[in-house]
Amino acid sequence: MTLEAASALGIDVVVLAEGPEDSAVALAAAVQFGSPSSADALARLAAACDVVTFDHEQLDLRVLQALQDQGRAVHPGPVTLQVAVDKAAMRTTFAAAGIPVPAFAVAGQTVEARGADRVARMMAAVAAFGETYGWPLVLKAGRGGYDGRGVWPVAGPAEAVEVCRWADDHDAILLVEEHVTISTELAVLVARRAGGEMVVWPAVETSQSDGVCREVLAPGPVDPELADEAMMLAQVVAQTTELVGVMAVELFVTGGALVVNEVAARPHNSGHWTIEGSVTSQFENHLRAVLDLPLGDTALTAPHVACVNVFGAEDGSDPRDRLAGALGVAGAHVHLYGKQARPGRKLGHVTVCGADAGQVRARAWAAARALGSAGGTADVSRVTR
């Protein structure tokens, strides 16, 4: 989707791909093959480009730092990415900047030998946190990349000790957090240039099940004051993390107040609706931001926008063979990612824009279901964790 936006602007993109089956390869004018964690591969990429940017966060930040130290433009930079990939760094940085986050503590950050002693120290920290904030609580691996895993709600110390053992085995830091009762999940996209110019899109509601985003509604059907506050917080986050590019800031509404849950320092699933639903898409504004070009208008193109993800059907059929059903739904904008179809795999999304919130939502779900599985019913149950 970034390449589609780059094509319109006449921007040449060199893609670093792990293999020829990567979706971006089909559309890229120039491709290099290599690992995004390899210093050599990144040096070769940087030599071919004015700016290096990313569509994922599976990166070695030391390699990026070295690249930046050599004078290469890397956007977003390692400082921003550190916060995005390291939950402990994020919570600590945000709390210090006055950005509301769930009550938290970090356990196991001391470098020490593995084993029972480390597990005991971690458990002591977890238990102390439980004393203060009560049980249940949530344990999280300090660094993400575990594909939805790495988050454990624990009812009491007996469950917690299992997680501490896991963390010890995996050399992981643990983040200990209060259990937050979530009434709504919001996401706010923000784009920022190096000089500080920022634009923010309207706050959207996201619905997840099994840890995966199913549906995004723009604008989010929440109190306008809360939406404004979320948009303000996203800009504070962008400034605090020295963002250059696009960032998705995910927030929980809990007890009528907001806390920031996670950030992604790249165009994000919660912003795919912007391709048709906003004057400027997240992909175009990401390109503008990293190339230090003026940022585009983020207003909605219609009163309501719904975006529903498409997952592989149970029978393994390819959504490309099921296009007719989806395109028969009025106003359905279908995006397929060119990925190999597998049951349950995220393969695309559908966006519908219009004046009636219920109708755009129903149409987006109908088209997504025609293509495969939309992973639930239109009344997606909100998950608390």
Contacts 24+ apart (CB under 8 A), 36-41: 36/60, 37/63, 38/63, 39/63, 39/66, 39/67, 41/16
Residue choice 330, 342, 343, 358 for contact with a second copy (CB under 8 A): 330
Q: Record the tokens describing residue 265, joined without a space.
A: 């320092």
Residue 100 or 338 having the CB closest to a second copy: 338
Query: Does residue number 236 form part of the binding site for a second copy (CB under 8 A)?
Result: no
Which residues are paired to 307 by β-bridges?
216, 351
Min CB(299)–a second copy separation in Å:
8
CB under 8 A: which stretch of 7-15, 134-142, 167-175, 222-230 binds a second copy?
A: 7-15
Binding flags for a second copy, 296-315, as an x/- string (CB under 8 A): xx---xx-------------
Q: How far is CA 331 from the centre of its chain?
A: 26
Residue choice 133, 135, 166, 337 for contact with a second copy (CB under 8 A): 337
Min CB(320)–a second copy separation in Å:
5
Min CB(334)–a second copy separation in Å:
6
Residue 93 or 285 having the CB closest to a second copy: 285
Indicate the Cα dihedral angle 309, 314, 319, 325, nearest 10°.
-90
Min CB(371)–a second copy separation in Å:
10
Residue choice 14, 27, 39, 95 for contact with a second copy (CB under 8 A): 27
- Looking up tokens 């007719």 gives 324
Query: Does residue number 340 form part of the binding site for a second copy (CB under 8 A)?
Result: no
Please give the size of the binding site for a second copy, defined by CB under 8 A. 38
Residue choice 45, 233, 305, 353 for contact with a second copy (CB under 8 A): 353
Is residue 354 within 8 Å of 120, Cβ to Cβ? Answer: no
Query: Does residue number 336 form part of the binding site for a second copy (CB under 8 A)?
Result: yes
Min CB(333)–a second copy separation in Å:
8
Min CB(152)–a second copy separation in Å:
36
Query: Does residue number 327 form part of the binding site for a second copy (CB under 8 A)?
Result: yes
The type of residue at 320 is R
Query: Does residue number 14 form part of the binding site for a second copy (CB under 8 A)?
Result: no
Q: Record the tokens describing residue 84, joined without a space.
A: 């995005």
Min CB(327)–a second copy separation in Å:
5
Residue choice 18, 21, 29, 58 for contact with a second copy (CB under 8 A): 29
Query: Does residue number 58 form part of the binding site for a second copy (CB under 8 A)?
Result: no
Min CB(315)–a second copy separation in Å:
18
Q: CB neighbours of 77 closer than 8 A, spacing ≥ 6?
A: 64, 68, 242, 244
Q: Rounded to an integer, what distance in angstroms lies between the CA atom of residue 300 and that of residue 286?
A: 17
Q: How far is CA 351 from the centre of its chain?
A: 18
Q: Rounded to an integer, what distance in angstroms lies between the CA atom of residue 151 and that of residue 106?
A: 14
Min CB(25)–a second copy separation in Å:
8
Query: Does residue number 10 form part of the binding site for a second copy (CB under 8 A)?
Result: yes
Residue choice 44, 335, 345, 385 for contact with a second copy (CB under 8 A): 335
Binding flags for a second copy, 268-297, as an x/- string (CB under 8 A): -----------x--------x----xx-xx
Contact positions vs a second copy (CB under 8 A): 1, 3-4, 7-12, 25-27, 29, 279, 288, 293-294, 296-297, 301-302, 319-320, 323-324, 327-328, 330-338, 348, 353
